[in-house]
Amino acid sequence: MNRKLTSNSLKQTFDRRSFVVGAVQGGIGCLLAARMGYIAVAENEKYEMEAESNRVNLTLIPPRRGWILDRDGSPLASNRADFRVDIIPERLHDPEHTVELLGELLEFTEVEKIDLLERVEQSRGFAAVPVASGLEFDKFAAVSVRLPELPGVVPQRGFSRFYPTGASVGHLIGYVGAPSREEYEEEPQPLLLTPGFKMGKDGLEQQFEQTLRGIPGARRVEVTASGRIVRDLETREDVQGQAVRLTIDGPLQDYAARRLGLESGSVVVMDCVTGDLLCMASMPSFDPNSFSDGIGRLEYSMLSENDRVPLRNKVLQGLYPPGSTVKPTVGMALLGEGIDPDETVSCSGGLRVGDRVFRCWNRRGHGQTNLAKAIYQSCDVYFYSMAQRIGMWPIADACKRYGMQQQFDLPVVSQFYGTVPDPDWKQEKYGREWQAFDTVNATIGQGYMLASPLQLAVMASRLATSEIVTPRLQFSNTVPQFSGMGVSNEYKNYIRQAMSDVVNGPGTAGRARLPVDDVLMAGKTGTAQVVGLNISDGRSGPWRYRDHGLFIFFAPFDNPRYAGAVVIEHGGGSGSAYPVARDVMTFLFDPQRGLDALHNLERQWGGTAQQRLDRQYAEYASAAGVDLPPAPPPVTLARQVDAEARAAAAEPREADTNAFTPRDEANPRGDGTST
Amino acid sequence: MKGTVALPAPIAEFPWRVVLPLTLLVAFGAAVLHSAAGGSMSPYASSHLIRYGVFLIVALVISYFPQDWARFAALPGYIAVVLLLVAVEAMGQMGGGSQRWLELGFMRLQPSEVMKPGIVLILAAFFHTLPVGMINSWRALLVPLGLIAIPMALVLLQPDLGTSLAIAFGGVVVMFLAGIPQKWFIGGGIAAIVAVPLAYMFALKPYQQQRVLTFLDPASDPQGSGYHIIQSQIAIGSGGISGKGFGEGSQSQLDYLPEPHTDFVFATMAEEWGLLGGLLVLLIFGIVLRWGLIVARDAQDRFSRLLAGGLTATIFFYVAVNLMMVMGLAPVVGIPLPFMSHGGSSMMTNMLCVGGIMMVERWNRRNRQSNL
């Protein structure tokens, strides 16, 4: 009985407890249903979005870059369709192996492989590293076929920047390249990480980056968790960047660059009616086409070892003593101070100032010299004498008014000021009193004076027109109204005539006369001394001791349309500069005749600038072998060049107290008949 | 026989109430596996159906065992499985790695799986033989605990936390149903609360600790161990009410969902069939489990009651833990979803449980008939 009762009570316990178990089970069932309803209904939108972002991969298509056009609308920078290969470092499994295999497929040399590996390691995990572009289809296909063995390698069809005239526009246009870490940090957009995207790194490409860039296209693809593309969903086309039209005359730019030939120098040509910069050539240069895929160590090494600084834009960042090219401007200052142009100074080959004798470049003397003769014969003594009469201030003012020490409103990365010394400046800089001999040195563009080729071209334009011509680089159909410089027509014509006589009369640059009927070019020669006579005679010996050759010019002399400046670094005197100016102007008025002259010269030099650069590169590559230091990223490179340029162009640290001894004014090399 | 339609006995006695919903669930599972295999019967769906067929026959055969057989088999069976567990452990030691199965040639036998119904059987038999008056004694507590602890320890050594918890759960539920005093459960609960942090600190392997941490905050490691939970919830959540359509689930089709055919098969299903599919699955499990509990309550003797109740609880444990895991309510412990996940061991265990409950149901019917 007792046992049965207990058994019954156990049965009751079981019923009770099994009910509890059932209730717990039902409760958990309801909890699960509620939880599922919450996830699937209440949070459905959120999870749908997450599933979608899992499934869909958005790939940006780098926009086609806007073209850079010359004034006639022909491209200075365009794009061409190309097969390219990039590496995304963070997707690499075994960088060495991948680079090795890729190098084999693309037939890389050992140097190129090391180079690539280094670039991959440096940018590890960051943006795409360009491997090669402009590939032939065969190689491209070879890489595409072996993709399964090459994780992280991205072959794609795209566009690469193409500069038809190559090195001729290198400094002006700049180049493009994959964004650096710094650039991405400054502008953290996914586009900058997209393989194949390039942004402007220098020159106009950098200045007009936002205009040229365009809007990226996008491709939506369905991908698996492991990144395999299942299918394309939709593709949005990119919008090409806007074109930038320059005032540059493309053919003239190319001509001038090529005409500089073996020299290190620059040519600036302006339209002095509108201020349009027609040509800003600076040589030697680099080929922006090859720069646009990053600088290889070989190329960098070659460029950085070149003492002619092919990475510096000499038009804007080269500073030179203007030498005698400043004389017409000083002449304007004299006229402005009421000096009668017909008043003569007797030049006997030198002038005593204080306890020093300042020599004229012509040791025999120029005899009785008025202002005109002092310009076309470039008589130093006349200016020594007259400058002392009016003092430094009017001369410094004139120099500044005519463009020296000015920065112009141009879309360029940097332009150097240069120096126009005056008593205050010297006091501040060196803590010394301005001396008479400082004025004397300055009047012939030596001493502390420094100007850039662009400033000299502006000076030529203003001398030609007596209007405050300001240069511009972006094309516009409007003709700006420049205000006058307050120079009477009489004086304006007087200086024009004197400068014409430099070329067409009894002047120092007779060989600069244009071989074009009815067009007379006016100009002024200049020879800027780099070291004293005790080191070099300025014409021979080590290249870096030779004098700079300068020439400013405008044409036609009586109704100026074009003006410009040529500076040849260490050309050995003005004789190296004016033949370039002559040919460039000839090309402007009679292209065929200009080209004939150029072709003759290029035969002597051994090919066009591009051909010579390519050959130089090949020679350098074979000589250098593999043991080269790596190239720094392009940004630091540019800064470094900037710094070097600044140092090279700085004023002397100590105040110069020596009398300056000018060199022969006209000294075309291999031609003794200087006049 | 009170049925209005006189069916032949074998058909009338056939356990339709469980076989029909189970077959529906397995077929649904096969459809999901078909989709998980990228729209193909092989390798998952076809073997899933074949296994179900085979183990259904096994279960039906079991259901014909008389009660005496079951009771007498309990202890030798338990000892045999424990020995197998020891053998597996020993082989694992010799093989230099952990091993959970014995290669029998035609299949891989996981002794730990057999232990899940095994522990229920031995405890049911134990409480059946225990004199009723001793239910409040220490013996009623300690002997079952010992019986649970031995296989649990061996399975933990493998290491397989999920299965050892399943064994413990089945055993504890049988003890609860057997009527041992409530105070011991309350005491045990308090002990568990104390033990859980200690176990977490000292007993769990680092990867298991990581799973617990990840469960508490999946976003802390979205690409690592939180990935499973996050992707599973994305799959379920993005399915919405009616799902994305058969074979259209991007999470499973594009490999974002890990283990779409085993542990996370419910997420695969929910993505394509939505909340409606999920409720259907829950409903079928509800029917099956309710059937199990009804069988237990209808049972005439203590052994049958405890056996049916414990087996039902074992199935329930699988379902609950798996579903809570895929919905982000429990840490990731590798426990598959009964009758839907692809996997022979899970199918075997659950069909053994079902077979056991069918067996009890048959005993009940016999008893009712004899009582009449």
Closest partner residue to B237 (CB to CB) among A33, A40, A55 is A40
Joined together, the tokens standing for residue B277 give 């599919």
What is the Cα–Cα distance from A643 to B98, expressed in whole angstroms? 67
- Residue of A1, A54, A222 to mutate, interface with B, max B Cβ within 10 Å: A54
In B, which residues are within 8 Å of A47 by CB distance? Answer: 233-238
Average pLDDT of span B293-299: 91
In B, which residues are within 8 Å of A37 by CB distance? Answer: 275
Verify whether the Cβ–Cβ distance A29 to B285 is below 8 Å: yes
Q: What distance in Å separates residue B293's CA from the closest CA in chain A?
A: 7
Alpha carbon A341 to its chain centroid, in Å, reads 42
Q: What distance in Å separates residue A185's CA from the closest CA in chain B?
A: 25
Is-contact A103 A112, C-beta < 8 A? yes
Closest partner residue to A41 (CB to CB) among B231, B275, B285 is B275
Q: What distance in Å separates residue B115's CA from the closest CA in chain A?
A: 21
Closest partner residue to B241 (CB to CB) among A41, A50, A225 is A41
B301: closest chain A residue by CA: A11
What is the Cα–Cα distance from A127 to A179, expressed in whole angstroms? 8
Helix B265-298 and helix B302-326, axial crossing angle in degrees, nearest 10: 160
Local mean pLDDT, 10-residue blocks, chain A (675 residues) = 61 87 92 93 90 83 89 86 79 81 84 81 65 80 82 80 85 85 83 83 88 88 76 83 90 89 90 92 85 67 75 86 91 89 88 84 87 89 89 91 90 86 88 86 87 93 92 90 88 91 86 86 88 72 84 90 92 87 90 88 81 76 58 47 48 58 50 34
pLDDT band at residue B287 using 50, 70 and 90 as cut-offs:
very high
What is the Cα–Cα distance from B262 to A421, expressed in whole angstroms? 86
Cβ contacts of A125 within 8 Å, gap of 6 or more: A89, A90
Across A384-429, where does the E strand assignment appear?
A: none
Verify whether the Cβ–Cβ distance A29 to B296 is below 8 Å: no
- Residue of A25, A46, A56, A231 to mutate, interface with B, max B Cβ within 10 Å: A25
Q: Is the peptide bond between A394 and the residue preceding it cis, with omega within 30 degrees of 0? A: no
DSSP string over A448-495: T-BB-HHHHHHHHHHHHHSB----B-B--SS---PPB-S--HHHHHHH
CA quadruple A26, A32, A33, A38: dihedral, nearest 10: 150
In B, which residues are within 8 Å of A6 by CB distance? Answer: 132-133, 135
What is the Cα–Cα distance from A159 to B271, expressed in whole angstroms? 42
Verify whether the Cβ–Cβ distance B239 to A40 is below 8 Å: yes
Average pLDDT of span B70-75: 90
Count CA atoms closer than 13 A to B116's CA, side-chain side. 29
The pLDDT, as a whole number, for residue A36 is 93
Joined together, the tokens standing for residue A337 give 């101070």
Geometric angle at alpha carbon A494, from A491 and A500, rounded to 5°: 145
Verify whether the Cβ–Cβ distance B237 to A17 is below 8 Å: no
The pLDDT, as a whole number, for residue A627 is 52
Verify whether the Cβ–Cβ distance B293 to A54 is below 8 Å: no
Q: What distance in Å separates residue B274's CA from the closest CA in chain A?
A: 7
What is the Cα–Cα distance from B256 to A200, expressed in whole angstroms? 39
Q: What distance in Å separates residue A126's CA from the closest CA in chain B?
A: 19
ipTM reported for the complex surpasses 0.85: yes
B249: closest chain A residue by CA: A51
B266: closest chain A residue by CA: A36
A222: closest chain B residue by CA: B254
The pLDDT, as a whole number, for residue B132 is 80
Confidence check: pLDDT of B2 > 60: no
What is the Cα–Cα distance from B46 to A313, expressed in whole angstroms? 75
In A, which residues are within 8 Å of B323 by CB distance? Answer: 32
Closest partner residue to B179 (CB to CB) among A17, A36, A47 is A17
Verify whether the Cβ–Cβ distance A17 to B275 is below 8 Å: no
Closest partner residue to A10 (CB to CB) among B135, B176, B320 is B135
Q: pLDDT digit string (tens) for B169-228?
A: 999 999 998 888 888 888 888 888 888 888 777 777 777 777 777 766 666 666 666 788
B324: closest chain A residue by CA: A32
In B, which residues are within 8 Å of A50 by CB distance? Answer: 234, 237-238
The pLDDT, as a whole number, for residue B139 is 84
In B, which residues are within 8 Å of A28 by CB distance? Answer: 320, 324
Verify whether the Cβ–Cβ distance A47 to B270 is below 8 Å: no
What is the Cα–Cα distance from B304 to B313, expressed in whole angstroms? 14
Q: What distance in Å separates residue B247's CA from the closest CA in chain A?
A: 15
Verify whether the Cβ–Cβ distance B238 to A48 is below 8 Å: yes
Q: What distance in Å separates residue B25's CA from the closest CA in chain A?
A: 16
Closest partner residue to B234 (CB to CB) among A10, A35, A50 is A50
B318: closest chain A residue by CA: A25
Closest partner residue to B275 (CB to CB) among A17, A21, A36 is A36
Closest to B84 measured CA to CA, from B137, B150, B135, B131 = B150
Read off the amino acid at residue A83: F
Q: What distance in Å separates residue B271's CA from the closest CA in chain A?
A: 9
Average pLDDT of span B295-310: 91
Enumerate long-range contacts of A631-635, CB under 8 Å, 24 or more apart.
A631/A115, A631/A295, A631/A296, A631/A297, A631/A299, A631/A300, A631/A301, A632/A300, A633/A180, A634/A175, A634/A177, A634/A180, A634/A201, A634/A202, A634/A291, A634/A294, A634/A295, A635/A180, A635/A182, A635/A183, A635/A201
B273: closest chain A residue by CA: A40
CB pairs under 8 A between A and B: 137
Q: pLDDT digit string (tens) for B30-60?
A: 999 999 888 888 888 999 999 999 999 999 9
Question: Residue A271 pairs with which residues in a beta bridge?
Answer: A562
The pLDDT, as a whole number, for residue A286 is 83
Q: What distance in Å separates residue B249's CA from the closest CA in chain A?
A: 9
Q: What distance in Å separates residue A12's CA from the closest CA in chain B?
A: 9
Is-contact B362 B63, C-beta < 8 A? yes
- Residue of B132, B231, B284, B326 to mutate, interface with A, max A Cβ within 10 Å: B132
Q: pLDDT digit string (tens) for B9-26?
A: 777 778 888 999 999 999
